[in-house]
């Protein structure tokens, strides 16, 4: 066991039983399962600033969903047990089968989470989405935030690396510059911020949200990530909308999928270029 991890466990009052076992699924951080005398914990090894952003995000989500028993609407947010340097200790969560009842609880829980609204879009400081630095400077207008903190910076970064040509950059810029024509201004909801399907775990206690990249923005940001890299059930959407599906949801879905697709293009290369251009066509056809 690495000395830094051993020291953190000692500081947290946690006694290990055996060595950390690598877990699959992490593209950025190294993640380990560790049995202890207090039960299992998860240990993550990554850059300190990313781990501190994750810990802060988990704390914000726990505070927003707390009902006196650690959940609201059934959402489970893992507890941070300790953090130091490049190591983060988290409560370990058991997995359970994905069922319709869990999808309903997830939809209700996200609806409650997104009901926490604020005047400013953004966050108190920058964080990261995966390995990509994420600018969160506050904007009262959500359209300005989406344009200046999300779409244009990522499109510029992709152009600089030769991953996006000038024509496609202009198409992204056209989308960004015309948001005010169709997207109403709205209060900013507290978001998970990176809610792809792999960051939702179904547990015996209810659906859990892990690996957040929190900020405040349009609530459909979280929904668009779920549909981009997963297939939420009808039960989820019935619970989330709690009424008719908004007429402009397909357009918002396409808009808020553009940023994560640009981020994946930046992180993982040209395999995601087709996803970017297909999403641009969807937006151009509205």
Q: How far is 280 from 277, CA to CA, in rounded Å?
A: 5
SS (H, E, C) the chain: CCHHHHHHHHHCCCCECCCCEECCCCCCCEEEEECECCCCEEEEECCHHHHHHHHHHHHHHHHHHCCCCCCCCCCECCCEEEEECCEEEEECCCCCCCCHHHHHHHHHHHHHHHCCEECCEECCCCEEECCEEECCCCECCHHHHHHHHHHHHHHHHHHHCCCCCHHHHHHHHHHHHCHHHCCCCCCEEEECCCCCHHHEEEECCEEEECCCCCEEECCHHHHHHHHHCCCCCHHHHHHHHCCCCCCCHHHHHHHHHHHHHHHHHHHHCHHHHHHHHHHHHHHHCC
Token pair for residue 215?
A: 């900020």
CA separation for the pair 111, 209 (Å, rounded): 14
pLDDT tens digits along 207-220: 999 999 999 999 99
Domain 3-91 coded CATH 3.30.200.20: yes
For the chain, domain boundaries: 3-91, 100-284
Token match 């953090």: residue? Answer: 83
Task: List 127's β-bridge partners, or say none.
Answer: 134
Mean pLDDT of 158-166: 97
56-111 pLDDT tens trace: 999 999 999 875 454 445 899 999 999 999 999 999 999 999 999 999 999 999 99
Looking at residue 27, its pLDDT comes to 67
- Report the C-alpha gap between 281 and 275 in whole angstroms: 10
Alpha-carbon distance of 260 to 266, in angstroms, equals 10
pLDDT of residue 70: 47
Position 71 scores a pLDDT of 46
Measured distance CA(21)–CA(39) in Å, rounded: 14
The Cα–Cα gap between 187 and 198 comes to 28
For the stretch 173-201, pLDDT in tens is: 999 999 999 999 999 999 999 999 999 99
* Confidence at residue 29, expressed as pLDDT on a 0 to 100 scale: 86
The first and second tokens of residue 3, run together, are 């000395």
What is the dihedral sign for C-alpha 266, 267, 269, 274?
Answer: negative
Q: What is the mean pLDDT of the chain?
A: 94
d(CA 143, CA 94): 39
Q: Is the pLDDT of residue 122 over 70?
A: yes
The 10s digit of each residue's pLDDT in 11-31 is 999 999 989 999 976 667 899
Residues 31-43 have pLDDT tens digits of 999 999 999 999 9
> With respect to CATH, is domain 100-284 assigned 3.40.50.12660?
no
Catalytic residue numbers?
A: 194
The label of the residue with tokens 């992490």 reads 26
Whether residue 112 is predicted with pLDDT greater than 50 in this model: the reply is yes
Q: What is the pLDDT of residue 25?
A: 64
């Amino acid at each position: 066991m690495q000395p830094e991890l051993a020291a953190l466990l000692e500081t947290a009052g946690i006694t290990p039983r055996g060595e950390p076992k690598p877990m699959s699924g992490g593209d950025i951080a190294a993640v380990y399962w560790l049995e202890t005398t207090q039960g299992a914990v998860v240990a993550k090894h990554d850059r300190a600033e990313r781990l501190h952003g994750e810990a802060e995000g988990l704390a914000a989500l726990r505070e927003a969903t707390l009902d006196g028993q650690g959940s609201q609407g059934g959402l489970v947010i893992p507890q941070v047990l300790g953090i130091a340097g490049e190591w983060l200790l988290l409560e370990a969560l058991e997995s359970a089968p994905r069922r319709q009842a869990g999808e309903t609880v997830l939809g209700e829980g996200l609806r409650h989470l997104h009901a926490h609204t604020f005047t400013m879009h953004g966050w108190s400081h920058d964080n990261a989405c995966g390995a990509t630095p994420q600018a969160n400077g506050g904007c009262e207008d959500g359209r300005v935030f989406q344009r200046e903190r999300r779409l244009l910076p990522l499109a510029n970064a992709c152009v600089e690396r030769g991953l996006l040509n000038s024509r496609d950059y202009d198409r992204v810029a056209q989308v960004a510059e015309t948001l005010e024509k169709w997207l109403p201004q709205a209060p900013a909801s507290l978001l998970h911020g990176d809610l792809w399907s792999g960051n939702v775990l179904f547990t015996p206690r209810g659906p859990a949200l892990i690996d957040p990249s929190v900020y405040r923005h349009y609530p459909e940001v979280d929904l668009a990530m779920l549909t981009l890299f997963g297939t939420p059930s009808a039960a989820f959407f019935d619970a989330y909308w709690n009424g008719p599906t908004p007429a402009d949801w397909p357009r918002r879905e396409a808009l808020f999928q553009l940023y994560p697709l640009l981020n994946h293009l930046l992180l993982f290369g040209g395999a995601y270029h087709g996803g970017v251009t297909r999403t641009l066509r969807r937006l151009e056809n509205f």
